[in-house]
Amino acid sequence: MKDRYNFLFRRTLLTATVLSAVLQTSWALSPDKKAGKMTRNVVRQLDYTVTGKVISSEKEALPGVSIVEKGTNKGTTTDIDGAFSINLVNPGTTLIFSFIGYVTKEVVVDGATNLDIVLESDAKGLDEVVVVGYSAKKARYLSSSVSTISSQKLRDVTSNELPNLLQGKAPGVVVSTNSGDPTSPARIVIRGSGTISANSSPLYVVDGNIDGSYNPVDVENVTVLKDVAATGLYGSRAANGVIIVNTKMGKAGKTEINFNNTFGWAQATTGNFRLMNAQELFDFQSTFNPRDPSVLKTNTNWWDQAFRTGFVNNHNVSVSGGSDKTTFYVSGNYYKEQGTVIENDKTGYNLRTNLRSQLTNRLTAAVLFNAQYTRDNYQNSNTLYDAYTNLPFDPAYENGAPTDGRSYPNWLGRDRENFLHSIQYNFARAKSLRTSLDVNLDYDLTDKITISSYNRANFGNGSGATYYDRRTKQGGANGGELYNNNSNNYRLLTSNRIRYSEDFGKHSLTVLGVAEAETSFIEFNTVSGKGLPAGQDVLSVATDILVSPTSYNEQVAFRKFLGQADYNYDNRYFLVGSLVNEFSSLFGKNNSTANFFQLGASWVLTNEGFLKNNKVLSFAKLRLSHGTVGNAAIPNFASLGLYTISQSASYAGVPGAQPFQKGNPDLTWEKIRASNVGFDISLWNRIDLAVDLYNKKSEDLLYQKPLTATTGYSYVWVNAGSVRNRGVEFSLTSNNLTGKQLTWETNFNMAFNRNKILELSGGAATFRPGNRLPLAAGHDMGEFNMPVWAGVNPENGDPQWEKIVKDANGNVTKELTNSYSSVQTAQSRQFTGKSANPKFTGGLTNTLGYKGFTLSAFFNFVYGNWVYNESRAYFDNDGLYESYNQMILAKGWSRWQKEGDVATHPKPIVGGNKDSNQSSTRYLEDGSYIRLRNVRLGYTIPVDAVRRIGFARANIFVSADNLWTGTKFTGPDPEASFSFEDTPGNSSIKYPISRKLLLGVNFTL
């Protein structure tokens, strides 16, 4: 069979060659051709052959290099020894040599019959081209603080959410994965939280345009912009940093088909947390309220009932290629991850098409399209909550069917619910579709002036449904409940740019002008019903409305003008300055526009005569930047006085309007003023080090201020003070071994940040008094404020707290008390000096290569943050909740049993021991951890072997995520949110993160 295919292939190739020769001969014999040229053309087309070899700059043969005759579809590839042979149409033609991981090279043949080609590795590190603002520069010439992560560095963790892939990869970029739920997003904070109530998430820029959808598999690289000189160019939405996502584009040459397939298994991690089994709980409760021993007939492990081994699938196929004029990249992706909690999963489909074409010598166009469809099934019916709280004395099944806690005669658990019964009927699910279409044009008006128009249209649709069947506890009271919601959003963006570049000897100047406009539309509605027949999850059969239907429509507009000048003298001295004027409909009519500026400078010391060609110091650069940027990340209409129209304000059956939000026409932009000093060095062309020091001050903080009920409003948006973040960042890359067979690379980064509230508006001492994380001048935004736990009284086993007492002369003393109510005062609630914000974070990756094998290990770490372990109030409560399961005491803990005992836990008493489980520093724990985030072993199959089975390249790998975590934290997982969009530093009934084992194969045709 193989011989038959080879025969057919050779015959087809011969036929194509002869046909090509005949057609070319016909063209040469056309009447307007001279006879002499006619014969010469035929001979050249049939006989002219070029041979040669392609090697790397390390003088290693490169197999599989694509070689294309420019302007034609004629091409070939190199063999295992890097050798090639190609028949040419024209001996004066140009050959294009391209290979993944190497710079594409064009070579004019000019009559040569043998060519030796050297391909240089794609620019890395200091020579890498980085997109900053609206320009692309080599990293060595930047004045800004940026971090770039290649697609290769992103692939070591399996997720379809980019933030999860960035964790620990860039200094100053803190990612918190607060849940193992695959439908739950991770949070990113860059260089500390600098806002109170406004959104603290960074801005995403995809392929040159703000926002946009993408799949991590299609990402070529990610650049994180951190200082104002870079982020400010994108305007107010970039106040919290910018993450630039560049997706893959096709390359000229042979069409390639790539298959990437990953599958594996996921299990929940439990950390240092363990729940009691029936015997352990029985023994514990017997010390203060003995149960009937008959309860030991049942020993249900509710955790095992709620959790499972999840399955992970990630399959991607892409086709890319093109000519020297037009390139294309088409990719399709399927991703499914089962959560480790039953009935919880995420499914995603993604389609991307990137097309770029040089339409004329001056005009280049790109059309980029992405469609992303997701379907989520949320864990419902209190599954996670019951897994923690249900008693092991209660049975999960009876006669092969899940028990119903409501009707089971001897159910002992407090909530009388068996989630296994509820999930048979209830569900919570959502689906969404996001599409983005880009049309980008670049036109070289002259050799020095380029005008560009980048345009994007985004469309999104989402819907969700939550159903509680009347046969379950959640739906029983109302005879079944159903909640439906639907949303549509549209976003139109146009960004028009003009760029002028000029060289004057050693001087270079680039001037940029940008005009952008964006409009967003949002539609949202919800409707619900009750009284549904069993199993009927449609509203048309509901007997009544559960909650009044709600709907709203919103429209938001942004506009921006930018001017920038970028000066370079002899690649030694660099200056850049920009001015930004912005308009936003989010702010009051008195402050809808604002102006901001950015300045940057850098000095490349190694381009000076006294350091040139230094054998040790390969590169050295000093960077400085300073500037301002606004923050507009607040809800739509935050500055306006709003009314709601509903039946709740009806009169005589007619819906009425009532005040909903107090307006503030003077609401203005939150302003960030930041400075950065950075230093980049490279030693022996092997060790790259970057150090940055920054100071970032946020003023006119946007704050949702609570109002008293007598005002008729709940809150009003105001500008309310200032906060400062200061820090130091380190990034180190070391090529420890660079041999032909053995390589070893180390990547390390670490960042320190200190946060401080400088002032609050109106001279207020504290915002949010009584909160665990109040806001007070002179303190960290994440500093805990609560009664201080003073341990256990060894005489009687009572809990103790510190009580602050002030005498008539103002002298302050501390007393020990067993009365929690006496420390629930502003005086006794103390700032602890312990913050939810970490002192430092970082990551470490080591990558070893030997022949075709690659082994990498990636650690990330967080140190100095504190986490309030709220779940202990339920599972470590000294007898308060007998109807809840309890946790096994952590190593080093003990309970008081008799007089004189020095213990960590009070005497357990029925109903609890004097409110010992109430909020205090008792449950405040060190959240520091180091985690082996990923280990990956891959093998690249030799080219000669894969070609025998019809492939150009092939790689197989095994990978493991979250193998080990070192921490003192006693909950399932120490990782808590650092973002004020959540509750930072809090761990309650937590969905633990997953440990994954994955297998994968990547191959190219």
Question: Are 672 and 700 contacting, i.e. CB atoms less than 8 angstroms apart?
Answer: no
Q: Check whether 42 has a pLDDT greater than 80.
A: no
Residues 6+ away with beta carbon under 8 Å from 871: 388, 971, 987, 988, 989, 990
Residues 66 and 90 in one domain: yes
What separation in angstroms does the CA of 78 have from each of 97, 122, 328, 740, 847? Answer: 10, 19, 23, 20, 29
Domain boundary among 102, 119, 136: 119
Q: Which residue has the tokens 């193989």?
A: 2
Q: Which residue has the tokens 């075709």?
A: 852
Roughly how many angstroms between the first and final C-alpha of the chain, as a whole number? Answer: 21
Rounded to a whole number of angstroms, the CA Rg of the chain reads 33
Please give the structure tokens belonging to residue 932: 């082996």
Q: From start to end of 3-69, where are the E strands?
A: 49-56, 66-69
689 within domain boundaries: no
Q: Residue 675: helix, strand or coil by DSSP?
A: strand
Q: Residue 388: helix, strand or coil by DSSP?
A: helix
Domain boundary among 84, 119, 154: 119
The strand pair at 114-119 and 49-56 is best described as: parallel
CA distance 623 to 890: 49
CA neighbours within 13 Å on the CB side: how many for 224?
Answer: 25
Question: Are 386 and 418 contacting, i.e. CB atoms less than 8 angstroms apart?
Answer: yes
Residues 103 and 56 in one domain: yes
Lowest-confidence pick of 19-28, 593-602, 680-689, 720-729 = 19-28
Q: Check whether 5 has a pLDDT greater than 60.
A: no
CA distance 78 to 308: 49
Question: Domain count of the chain?
Answer: 2
Over the stretch 632-659, which tens digit does the pLDDT of each residue have?
Answer: 888 888 888 877 776 666 666 677 777 7
Fill in the DSSP letter of residue 637. Answer: T
pLDDT of residue 58: 61
Q: Check whether 39 has a pLDDT greater than 60.
A: no
pLDDT of residue 34: 36
* Higher pLDDT among residues 810 and 616, named by residue: 616
Question: Are 122 and 102 contacting, i.e. CB atoms less than 8 angstroms apart?
Answer: yes
Lowest-confidence pick of 24-33, 486-495, 815-824 = 24-33
Containing 76, the helix (H) or strand (E) segment is: strand 75-77
Residues in the chain, total: 1005
Domain boundary among 251, 281, 296: 251
pLDDT winner (highest mean) among 341-350, 378-387, 977-986 = 341-350
Residues 140 and 241 in one domain: yes
What separation in angstroms does the CA of 888 have from each of 298, 395, 916? Answer: 19, 21, 17
449 within domain boundaries: no
Over the stretch 696-739, which tens digit does the pLDDT of each residue have?
Answer: 999 998 888 888 877 888 888 888 889 999 999 999 999 998 88
Containing 289, the helix (H) or strand (E) segment is: none
Over the stretch 863-900, which tens digit does the pLDDT of each residue have?
Answer: 999 999 999 999 999 999 999 999 999 999 999 999 99
Classify 712 in phi/psi space as left (phi over 0), alpha (psi -120 to 50) or beta.
left
Concatenating the DSSP letter of every residue in 136-171 gives EEEGGG--S-EEEEEHHHHTTS--S-HHHHHTTTST
Residues 145 and 245 in one domain: yes
Q: Check whether 583 has a pLDDT greater than 90.
A: yes
pLDDT band at 10 (very low <50, low <70, confident <90, very high): very low
Please give the structure tokens belonging to residue 137: 């520069």
Please give the structure tokens belonging to residue 383: 């599954």
Average pLDDT over residues 922-945: 93
Residues 97 and 187 in one domain: no
Tell me how far the alpha carbon of residue 496 is from its chain's centroid.
Answer: 28
The strand pair at 986-987 and 866-869 is best described as: parallel
826 within domain boundaries: no
Residues 242 and 179 in one domain: yes
Fill in the DSSP letter of residue 662. Answer: B
83 within domain boundaries: yes
pLDDT band at 26 (very low <50, low <70, confident <90, very high): very low
784 within domain boundaries: no
Average pLDDT over residues 597-612: 91
Concatenating the DSSP letter of every residue in 885-896 gives --BPPPTT--B-
Q: Domain containing 175 — which CATH number?
A: 2.170.130.10
Question: Are 965 and 973 contacting, i.e. CB atoms less than 8 angstroms apart?
Answer: yes
Containing 594, the helix (H) or strand (E) segment is: strand 593-604
CA distance 855 to 849: 6
Over the stretch 513-537, which tens digit does the pLDDT of each residue have?
Answer: 999 999 999 999 999 999 999 999 9
996 within domain boundaries: no
Residues 168 and 101 in one domain: no
Torsion of CA 909, 915, 917, 918, to 10 degrees: 170
Residues 165 and 59 in one domain: no
Residues 215 and 109 in one domain: no
Over the stretch 437-485, which tens digit does the pLDDT of each residue have?
Answer: 999 999 999 999 999 999 999 999 999 999 999 999 999 999 999 999 9
Please give the structure tokens belonging to residue 279: 């015997």
Residues 190 and 83 in one domain: no
790 within domain boundaries: no
Over the stretch 401-436, which tens digit does the pLDDT of each residue have?
Answer: 999 999 998 899 998 999 999 999 999 999 999 999
pLDDT of residue 45: 42
Residues 6+ away with beta carbon under 8 Å from 627: 228, 229, 232, 578, 596, 597, 598, 599, 600, 673, 674
pLDDT of residue 40: 36
612 within domain boundaries: no
CA distance 195 to 775: 11
CA distance 324 to 307: 54
Residues 82 and 141 in one domain: no
pLDDT band at 17 (very low <50, low <70, confident <90, very high): very low
Full residue range of the structural domain in which residue 147 is found = 125-251
Residue-wise over 214-241: b if at least 16 C-beta within 10 A, else e? bbbbbbebbbbbbbbbbbbbbbbbbbbb
Instruction: Note the maximum CA span of the chain.
Output: 119
pLDDT of residue 638: 82
CA distance 248 to 355: 10
Q: Check whether 605 has a pLDDT greater than 60.
A: yes
Q: Domain containing 30 — which CATH number?
A: 2.60.40.1120
CA distance 711 to 662: 9
Residues 43 and 130 in one domain: no
Over the stretch 475-490, which tens digit does the pLDDT of each residue have?
Answer: 999 999 999 999 999 9
CA distance 210 to 605: 35
